[in-house]
């Protein structure tokens, strides 16, 4: 499991990549898997066990009544993250001062602005977003240099829960958002890219990157 109790649509959209990798002078088969969280996991294809270490780290917990979130999530220990995983209000971006201030105010109003902050009634940030991080474009392999070549997206999304009774009465939140009823649940959810009044993303560019990761060295090559 690359994400426990997924509340952010962090499904694994990218196909895994099977290749061989030289570690500590020994060549071995590995499975490289990427996720919308913008993290890579290197596994033994025969057993599924980590080839490069993974550890469980504490993550933010839900404040929504009745919701029980996973206390930890799995993080690769030796590999860097490939996209932004937090956006503090002070980091709000805009081409104009009006955009920057509007983005900053929106971020300040949220219950959390880092990855794995659970959706809330107040509003929270999914960073990377459900269409961000490592998505359908997947991975390529540079065998000569032993590098994974990965396309990532850096556009954050705002999530907001809407009580089901309010949703039934017509409350849909931000008209630019994707709003979805969750059948049988007490809440609907609205999600939309976090943008300023001009429509530009609130996170600083680049909003998409092509990244080469040296897996043995545990660093971004370019």
Structure tokens at 78: 């030796």
Q: Is 9 a known active-site residue?
A: yes
Structure tokens at 72: 């930890």
Percentages helix, strand, coil for the chain (3-state, rounded to 5) are 10, 35, 55
Give the residue among 149, 115, 148, 152 at the shortest CA–CA distance from 135: 152
Exposed/middle/buried for 40, CB within 10 Å: 0-12, 13-18, 19+? buried
Marked catalytic residue, from 9, 11, 99, 142:
9
Distance of alpha carbon 67 from alpha carbon 29, whole angstroms: 40
Contacts (Cβ under 8 Å, ≥6 apart) of 27? 20, 21
Exposed/middle/buried for 88, CB within 10 Å: 0-12, 13-18, 19+? exposed
Give the residue among 134, 130, 123, 128 at the shortest CA–CA distance from 87: 128
Q: What are phi and psi of 179, to 5 degrees?
A: -115, 130
Give the residue among 197, 184, 157, 189 at the shortest CA–CA distance from 173: 189
Enzyme catalytic residues: 9
């Amino acid at each position: 499991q690359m994400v426990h109790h997924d509340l952010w649509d962090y499904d694994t959209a990218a196909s895994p990549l099977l290749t061989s990798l030289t570690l500590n002078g020994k060549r071995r088969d590995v499975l490289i898997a990427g996720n919308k969280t913008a993290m890579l996991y290197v596994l033994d294809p025969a057993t599924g066990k980590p080839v490069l270490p993974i550890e469980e780290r504490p993550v933010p917990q839900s404040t929504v009544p009745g919701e029980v979130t996973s206390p930890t999530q799995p993080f690769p220990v030796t590999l860097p993250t490939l996209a932004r995983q937090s956006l503090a209000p002070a980091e709000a971006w805009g081409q104009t001062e009006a955009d920057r201030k509007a983005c900053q105010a929106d971020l300040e109003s949220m219950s959390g602005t880092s990855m794995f902050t659970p959706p809330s009634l107040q509003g929270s940030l999914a960073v990377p977003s459900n269409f961000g991080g490592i998505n359908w474009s997947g991975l390529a392999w540079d065998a000569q240099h032993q590098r994974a070549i990965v396309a990532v997206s850096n556009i954050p999304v705002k999530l907001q829960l809407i009580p089901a009774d309010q949703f039934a009465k017509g409350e849909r939140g931000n008209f630019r958002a994707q709003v979805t009823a969750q059948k049988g649940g007490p809440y609907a959810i609205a999600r939309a890219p976090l943008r300023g009044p001009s429509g530009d993303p609130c996170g600083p560019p680049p909003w998409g990157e092509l990244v080469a990761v040296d897996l043995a060295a545990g660093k971004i090559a370019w």
